[in-house]
Amino acid sequence: MNARLHCTRWLALCLFSTTLFAASPDGVVAVSHPAAAAAGARMLAQGGNAIDAAAAVQFALNVVEPQSSGIGGGGFMLVHLAKTGETFIVDSRERAPAAASADMFAPDGLAMAFPLASTSGLAVGVPGTLRGIDTALRRWGTKKLADTLAPAIELAGHGFRVNRFLADDIAHDDGRTQLHPETAATFRPGGVPLAEGDWLVQPDLAKTLKLIAAKGPDAFYRGPLARAIVKAQQRSRSELGDAGRGRMTLADLAQYQVVIRQPLIGHYRGWTLEGMPPPSSGGLTVLQMLNLLQRFPLGDTAQGYGFDSPQTLHVMIEAMRLAFADRAVWIGDDDTMPVPQRGLLHPGYLATRAAQIKPDSRMDTPQAGDPTPWDSSTTVRPAPSRVHEESPHTTHFAIVDRWGNVVSVTTTIEYTWGTGITVPGYGFLLNNELTDFNLAPSADAVAGNPGANDVAPYKRPRSSMAPLLLLKQDKPVAAFGSPGGATIINSVLNVTLNLVDHGMTLQQAIDAPRLSVTQAAGQVSCEGGQVFMQPAFSVGTQDALRKLGHIGLGEAGTNGCQASIGSVQAVAIDLATGVHEGAADPRREGTVIRVKAPQD
């Protein structure tokens, strides 16, 4: 995809640049795909604000990253308003239908195999993306929904060149683009998977987006399109029979509601952080880890806590293990079952958890703690959730406009390609978000376990998405987030530490290699091997971690850091100069566009 061609076509009246990094007092868009970045820049160039641009980016991503997000899914939008200093969270996470039940993925007492459950209609949650975008536009945007759909309609109707990321996801799809004829016809025409450089036109999707532009969101949530969604999610895998059919009804679609939430607020070394509350575990888990790390002098090379030091990585690993142990037990949809948010972040509770981190030794596998003495909202201790390993796909983008409004959005259809079900005649994929619930129910009345992340009617499954706003003296400084399933949380943590403790620039903080642990048992993943990931985690550092007992790094003397973790897009505001910056992740085709918007 040639981003400059798209920008030239759409932004002829504007000064702009496309790159991995840009700085400007005007609008800045940071997105994982250049064509979607250009869609957002088009809104800014036409005088729109960050919310308008975010809407255009989301719709364009449905076209160019269909394997990761779209109107068949959901997500979370963080909105910071410059005029009032307020921050809001638009929660458009998918919901379980009214007929959902805790045992629906385990009808005979045993959980369905994830590959089967996740590619059947039973996994489809009621989509929220379109309602979320429309809600944000109505509250804070300046453009009509149809205006923000225009770039995506053009992309779907005229087509675009397949990039290497989309081509790779088609080639290595776990069969998901081959299971249903409509999906195969789009991404494997004639049985041949699309390759990098191929031209992809999606006329059915263009038709759908035009319909929504003409008639609004009700065209999606009611009427013929809604009926097509309900019928499509009634598909099952032959191995599951009727048990794999979706339970969504027309009433579920018509009754879907977005929730506007207050951000979760925390503090770290004099900085304020605003992030996602439940049903996402992202904000709570990031803030927990930061608080667990406060007592260590990260960034102080004289004390052995530089970026690549064994001490720094060791305490990061231990903080991740403790926080993920708590996440597995305590966090679910707070609207249906109270989450002990105050307790999990209470200094008294965190002190008991942080005391388990020893600078010179690895702890045994930690269990979840008990925050209930510090939080009266929950009095029972649930058991660990039993969910599958989350997909590394999803997508994130960030925008700041010329007025200083900031938007940070993480959006998904869950696993790569979602269910693999394309709604016939309408050209978009359906999510498999309900497999983010426990596949086998964990509730146990005798043990006092309420099943915090068990399936229930209208409930939202736990997420890892973590759009984050970093503030200094109540002024926004940076907004960022990442895809990556459970590793989202650790990507956001890595970037935060790089900015605050290691003094990196925004682009350096994103480029630097990341480390991730998503289970209490402590299997370590880390990045390396690509030129832009500097400074690398040295083999000597990895050997030091091996000697401490950390697992997942392979044999001594070898480079065990070979993973690819996340794709962070970010914007920032320099408080001293007012300059707006953007930085994008080279792990995907990250693109930053700077827009010189028309003067008022």
Pick the closest to residue 590 from 9, 206, 28, 74 (CA basis).
Answer: 28
Active site residue 419: no
Q: Are 265 and 470 in contact (CB under 8 A)?
A: no
CA–CA distance, 168 with 442 (Å, rounded to integer): 36
Tokens of 420: 């693999």
Name the β-bridge partners of 581.
Answer: 23, 572
Please, are residues 413 and 71 in contact by the beta-carbon 8 Å criterion?
A: no
Give Cα 306 distance to the centre of its chain. 28
474, exposed or middle or buried, with CB in 10 Å at 0-12, 13-18, 19+? exposed
User: CA end-to-end span of the chain, whole Å?
Assistant: 33
Determine the angle formed by the axes of helices 50-64 and 145-158, rounding to 10 degrees.
30
Could you give the CA distance from residue 547 to residue 369 in angstroms, rounded to a whole number? 27
Cβ 395 vs Cβ 32: under 8 Å = yes
Residues 6+ apart with CB under 8 A from 442: 382, 383, 384, 385, 386, 449, 451, 452, 453, 454
- For residue 498, the one-letter residue type is N
Catalytic-role residue among 394, 412, 487, 496: 394
CA–CA gap between residue 197 and residue 181 (Å, rounded): 23
Element (H, E) at 480: strand 475-481
Nearest to 340 by CA among 327, 325, 330: 330
Instruction: Output the 3-class SS for 565-585.
Output: CCCCEEEEECCCCCCEEEECC
Partner residues linked to 89 by β-bridges: 78, 261
Helices (H) and strands (E) in the chain, counts: 19, 19
Which helix (H) or strand (E) segment holds residue 223: the answer is helix 223-232
Q: How far apart are alpha carbons 268 and 163 in whole angstroms?
A: 39
d(CA 15, CA 44): 12
519 and 493 in contact (C-beta within 8 Å)? no
Reference 259, options 274, 275, 277; nearest CA is 277
Could you tell me the strand order of the sheet in which 406-412 lies? 16-19, 591-595, 27-31, 395-400, 406-412, 74-80, 87-91, 259-261
How are beta strands 27-31 and 160-161 bridged, if at all? unpaired
Catalytic residues: 394
